[in-house]
Amino acid sequence: MLLFTVPVGLMLSLALLVITMEEGAASLTGFSVPLTKAMTLAAQGVGFHANGVVMGVTPLLLTILLIVLIRAVALKFKATMRSYAGGLVAWLLLDLVMTAGLSVTVNDSWWLVLVKGAVVFSIGCLWAVWPGSSACRRVQSYIHEHVSLPVHHAVVSGLVVGVALLGIYLAIGLVTVIVWTIMNHDAMGTMFTLLQVRTWSRFFICIMSLAWLPNLAIWAMAWLFGASFSIGSIATFTLWNGSATGLPALPVFALFPQAVESSGLRTFYVLIPCIVSVLVGIVALTYRRAFPMWRVARNTAQSLQQRLLAFAYPAGALCIAVVLVSLAASIIFVLADGSLGTHRLRTVGAPVAQSTQALAKPTAIGLFAVWMVALVAVALAYAIRGAASRHHSEQVSESVHEDHASERDASKDHDEQKSSAKVRTAQSSGALHVNSESPNDTPHAPSASHRVVRSASHAKENQNDHEPTTTTGFGIGIS
């Protein structure tokens, strides 16, 4: 806490000294210590008031710096869960010390001061201690054992999409504040001139006002997206109306915007969350580490159940993103609001319900519009691919039928040729038979059988084996 309190105290002491020297007023340096204590408590969400002046708006930049400082110290000294418990007790004791001896009155009771201090310290310390603790490892092992990989991937992707959307929205709000400053710095200078504030006093007032820069960015985000923010019941700023008339003479109030006259610009501003969510949704549904739907469109081997799950997991992730944006936006608007008085300045900031709706509703519309477009596109891809495959199969079947028909025609022609050849062969053989049976005047040679018998008998007679035979030498048989 000293690492945070000492720089804040030195900055306040220097600012009070410069203002005292430049403005020629009574010495203000005596308020350095109590004001430093009050600002340290204010960074933890504890408001204060003195002499009718109420400071109930938390300087969120100091809160962020305090949390980051606690985390850095915990990482430096390698804090554990046991050291977290001891550090929490010491932090709460220091908060009680801060509340004692103040020249201002704290708005909250002592137990609420301790609760707010415990929340701030726990966020910063656990941010450093939890990732490397054994409890975190047990939780991770339990998740890996009991949660399927697609469900885990969908949850993580949804959280990443939600955080990305919140970061983009806050960046847009910060850019809006910068634009306000550029457009209305003349009015702020006029306010300083009317208050007779000199150069270096202006510089330190502007530097100290940066502590509420995140608050202004959150209010600007609500204003830009179609909601509103108000400074009590005195002034309300929207895209359609806005006036700083009647506000207290604080230079920062001179930066607040006027109404936007162009209806086209107003429509564009209101549609910014929808446009951003559409772009983020496109990235989520095309990035290969998220949900690349183009792979689903190309994969033809998936079953119907696998295709339905391929669309169910992205839908669940987008739902998680919308829920995260809604809850985080509600918390952010609550933290940014506060009070600057007890009557007309009792409520300062953006209405929580209206601002959350202006942020979450177009986000949900944009994300699910992208999901529906992806669903229709993949369905059309399947339909086109199915029609093309059917057309190709029909062409193949037609070509097969044509091939079969040509084969049948060829075989039929071949059979006809064979039958005609047989007919011609039969006709020619019949003609030869008729010619052989008809009389002929020319003598013809003896038949082959006669020649064979005669040759055989001649062969028998010509044998010189001197065996007795039934014939004589002249071939006359003896009977």
For the chain (length 479 residues), average pLDDT per consecutive 10? 87 86 72 87 89 86 95 90 89 89 84 93 92 87 87 90 95 95 89 86 90 95 93 89 77 88 92 95 84 64 66 89 95 92 86 94 94 84 68 63 62 65 62 48 44 42 45 42
How many separate domains does the chain show? 2
CA gap 273, 221 in Å, rounded: 10
Distance between CA atoms of residues 61 and 64, nearest Å = 5
113 & 172 share domain: no
- Do 128 and 185 reside in the same domain of the chain? no
For residues 183 and 220, membership in a common domain is answered with yes
Q: Is residue 407 part of a domain?
A: no
Cα distance between residue 132 and residue 112, in whole Å = 30
153 lies in the same domain as 121:
no
Question: What phi, psi does 226 have (nearest 5°)?
Answer: 105, -5
Shared-domain flag, residues 29 and 100: yes
Q: Does 128 lie in the same domain as 226? A: no
Structural domain contains residue 232:
yes
- Which domain-ending residue is among 78, 106, 135? 135
Cβ neighbours of residue 359 closer than 8 Å, sequence gap 6 or more: 169, 221, 222, 225, 227, 273, 325, 326, 329
Residue 289's pLDDT is 77
Residue where a domain terminates, one of 371, 397, 423:
397
- Cα distance between residue 153 and residue 158, in whole Å: 8
308 plus 180 within the same structural domain: yes
Q: What are phi and psi of 151, to 5 degrees?
A: -65, -45
**Length in residues, the chain:** 479
Q: Are residues 301 and 173 in the same domain?
A: yes
Beta-carbon count within 10 A of 131 CB: 10
HSE-up (13 A, CA, CB side) for residue 199? 0
Instruction: Say if CB 201 and CB 17 are below 8 A apart.
Output: no
**339 and 194 in a common domain:** yes
pTM of the complete model beyond 0.75: yes
Please check whether residue 429 lies inside any domain of the structure: no
Q: Are residues 151 and 131 in the same domain?
A: no
Give pLDDT, residue 52: 74
The reported pLDDT for the residue numbered 346 is: 85
Q: Does residue 442 form part of some domain?
A: no
Cα–Cα distances in Å, from 422 out to 44, 409, 410?
A: 114, 20, 18
Residue 300 forms part of a structural domain: yes
> How deeply is 412 buried, as exposed, middle or buried, from its count of CB atoms within 10 A (0-12, 13-18, 19+)?
exposed
Are 247 and 368 in the same domain? yes
Closest CA to 54 of 124, 105, 123: 105
One-letter amino acid identity for 245? T
Query: Where does 195-225 have alpha helices with state H?
Result: 199-209, 213-224
Specify if 455 maps to a domain: no
Residues 200, 349, single domain; the answer is: yes
Domain presence at residue 454: no
Among 352, 370, 397, give the residue marking a domain's end: 397
> Which residue type sits at 140?
Q
Q: Domain residues for 34?
A: 1-135
Contact 166, 325 (CB under 8 A): yes
Burial of 449 (0-12, 13-18, 19+ CB in 10 A): exposed
Q: Which residues contact 283 (CB under 8 A, 6 or more apart)?
A: 290
Is residue 111 within 8 Å of residue 117, measured between CB atoms? no
HEC string for 234-270: CEEECCCCCCCCCCCCCHHHHHCCCCCCCHHHHHHHH
pLDDT value, residue 222: 94
Residues 230, 333: Cα–Cα separation, whole Å: 13
- Give the pLDDT confidence score for residue 476 in this predicted structure: 40
**Domain-embedded: residue 210:** yes
Chain centroid to Cα 280, Å, comes to: 6
CB 104 within 8 A of CB 150: no
Q: Which helix (H) or strand (E) holds 367?
A: helix 352-437
